[in-house]
Structures are given as C-alpha cells and as structure tokens.
Amino acid sequence: MPKLQGINHRRAVSAFQKAGFWIVREGKHISMTDGKRIIIIPRANPINAFTMAGIIRDAGMTVKEFKKLLR
C-alpha cells in the first residue's frame, strides 16, 4: 500500500467529490455518500493517516486512486 500522509479535511472532501460523493450532513464530522456507501470525515487538520486509510477503504477506493484525486 502506498504511503499516505495526514491531509486537510477540505482536501479530502474535494477529492471524494471528484469521485462522485456528495455532502449529506455537516457538523463536527462531514457525512458524504455516493448513493451506495456512506463515509464520515472528521473535521481535523490534519486527518490522521490511519484514519484516512480507513475512510478510503470504506469508500471502496485504493490509496493510489485517492492520491490521483488529490491532484
């Protein structure tokens, strides 16, 4: 698995939006869905790399695919 550094929650939300997710609810955490899956992104800067890897896995993506969306 490629290395993943902690990233800003805004960058993560933007990357997931490029992947077809949209924001459902906002508060201390941001809930996003693509119609099939629901992911929860904490409003933390930076988001811990282990937490981010779990969110990416829950979204049905690989770290490599997610890194491409961050660009």
- Within a domain: residue 66? yes
- Name, in order, each residue with C-beta under 8 angstroms of 18's C-beta and a sequence gap of 6 or more: 69
Q: Is the pLDDT of residue 3 over 80?
A: no
- Within a domain: residue 54? yes
In whole angstroms, what is the distance from residue 12 CA to residue 8 CA? 7
- What CATH number does residue 14 fall under? 3.30.920.30
Task: Tell me the per-residue pLDDT of 43-66, one tens digit each, with 9 for 90 and over.
Answer: 989 999 999 999 999 999 999 999
| Residue 60 structural domain | 9-70
- Within a domain: residue 32? yes
Q: What is the pTM of this model?
A: 0.91
Length of the chain: 71
- Average pLDDT in the 17-38 region? 97
- Within a domain: residue 52? yes
- Within a domain: residue 3? no
Total domains, the chain: 1
DSSP string, 27-57: SSEEEEE-SS-EEEEE--SSBPHHHHHHHHH
- Within a domain: residue 45? yes
- Within a domain: residue 18? yes
